[in-house]
């Protein structure tokens, strides 16, 4: 039986989804990117907000929702069940990296005393001092978590095609993408990725430039919202602790429905 706290969080997420509230500003563009019966990986799925949106804009989608936090995974399973989308969304309790094994999930405690689950990240060892360079925290909690690579994950489950990846994993994005090299080379999936420059540098020895280069060397084009406008970029926006970016390969442009992305890819 789920705890009252899990039930409360799941109910809020379920109700928020039904009211179409508190979705990221990039969410409306998913309708331009998903059509037919896409196979989607939702990495860092949290309470399943993006998974729910995917099922609404692409009712035939198959979605693997991967979430490392035991608490958030319990919430995710409930929201999937309450939305009755379990035939399309499969929750998976794991973290994603560049090699299989075990790491720690580090969850900061916010200044309010509440757990900052949206700011949790994986680490080989518990950090000393501040949990994150971009957050005022008052401590942290760790839990061991199994780590998989996306390449191994898909191979073991016979997932022969990936069309779309949504990834929000608090600085581990370079590491996770290196563990998805075969998928990126084989399928050239469209990716909606949140890049975290301070976390990349502080905890993963990476950079936003290296993350972008993982895509550009494969011929991808990069887009980001600037206010209410979508613009093409060649670099990550400077001075922001995190931001979402779309990475789209030109070979997928012909398969996009008519809309802003298709028009911009043709430009």
Per-residue model confidence (pLDDT) at position 172: 98
Whether pLDDT at 164 is above 90: yes
Q: Which one, of 95, 98, 97, 99, lies nearest residue 107 by Cα? A: 95
* Residue with tokens 């942290």, as numbered in its chain: 140
Cα separation of 95 and 26, whole Å?
Answer: 24
Length of the chain as a residue count: 267
pTM, full prediction: 0.95
Q: What is the pLDDT of residues 100-131, one digit of tens each?
A: 999 999 999 988 888 999 999 999 999 888 88
- What span, in angstroms and rounded, lies between the C-alpha atoms of 51 and 47? 9
Give the least confident one: 85-89, 109-113, 160-164, 205-209: 109-113
pLDDT, mean of residues 191-201: 97
Which residues fall within 8 angstroms of residue 158, CB to CB, at 6 or more apart? none
Residue given tokens 């005393």 in the structure block = 113
The reported pLDDT for the residue numbered 97 is 98
Q: Give the HSE-up count for residue 147: Cα atoms under 13 Å, Cβ half-sphere.
A: 21
Q: What was the pLDDT predicted at 253?
A: 76
Q: What confidence score (pLDDT) does residue 58 get?
A: 96
Q: For 2-10, what is the mean pLDDT?
A: 93
Tens digit of each residue's pLDDT (9 = 90 or more) over 202-243 = 999 999 999 999 999 999 999 999 988 889 999 999 999 999
Q: What percentage of the chain has pLDDT greater than the value 70?
A: 97
**Residue 258 scores a pLDDT above 90:** no
The rounded distance, in Å, linking the Cα atoms of 99 and 53 is 30
Q: What residues does each domain of the chain span?
A: 4-97+156-266
- The answer on pLDDT for 36 being more than 70 is yes
Distance separating alpha carbons of residues 236 and 211, to the nearest angstrom: 9
**pLDDT at residue 125, rounded to an integer:** 93
Instruction: Please give the structure tokens belonging to residue 106.
Output: 């580090």
**Structure tokens that stand for 134 in this block:** 């971009």
Residue pointed to by tokens 């998928």: 183
Q: For residue 257, what pLDDT is reported? A: 64
**What's the pLDDT at 151?**
98
Mean of pLDDT values over 40-48: 97
User: Stretch 83-90: mean pLDDT, rounded?
Assistant: 98
The answer on pLDDT for 260 being more than 80 is no
Superfamily of chain region 4-97+156-266? Vaccinia Virus protein VP39 (3.40.50.150)
Label residue 8 by pLDDT band (50, 70, 90). Answer: very high
Beta-carbon contacts of 266 under 8 Å, excluding residues fewer than 6 positions away, are 253
Percent of the chain predicted with pLDDT > 90: 80
The CB density around residue 150, as the number of other CB atoms within 10 Å, is 27
Q: Return mean pLDDT, the chain.
A: 93
């Amino acid at each position: 039986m789920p705890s009252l706290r899990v039930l409360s969080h799941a109910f809020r997420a379920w109700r928020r989804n039904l009211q179409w509230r508190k979705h990221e500003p990039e969410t409306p563009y998913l309708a331009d990117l998903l059509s037919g019966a896409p196979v989607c990986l939702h990495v860092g799925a949290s309470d399943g907000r993006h998974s729910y949106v995917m099922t609404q804009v692409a009712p035939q989608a198959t979605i693997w929702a991967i979430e490392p936090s035991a608490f958030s995974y319990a919430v995710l399973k409930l929201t999937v069940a309450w939305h009755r989308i379990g035939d399309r969304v499969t929750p998976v309790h794991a973290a994603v990296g560049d090699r299989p094994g075990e790491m720690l999930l580090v969850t900061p405690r916010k200044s309010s005393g509440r757990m900052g689950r949206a700011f949790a990240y994986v680490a080989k060892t518990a950090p000393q001092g501040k949990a994150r360079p971009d957050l005022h925290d008052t401590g942290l909690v760790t839990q061991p978590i199994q780590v998989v690579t996306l390449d191994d994950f898909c191979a073991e489950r016979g997932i022969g095609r990936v069309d779309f990846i949504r990834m929000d994993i608090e600085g581990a994005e370079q590491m996770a993408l290196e563990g998805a090299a075969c998928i990126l080379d084989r399928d050239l999936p469209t990716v909606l990725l949140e890049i975290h420059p301070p976390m990349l540098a502080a905890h993963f020895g990476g950079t936003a430039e290296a993350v972008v280069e993982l895509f550009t060397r494969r011929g991808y084009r990069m887009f980001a919202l600037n206010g209410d406008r979508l613009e093409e970029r060649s670099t990550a926006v400077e001075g922001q602790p995190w931001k979402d970016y779309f990475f789209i390969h030109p070979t997928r442009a012909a398969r996009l429905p008519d809309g802003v992305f298709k028009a911009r890819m043709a430009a």
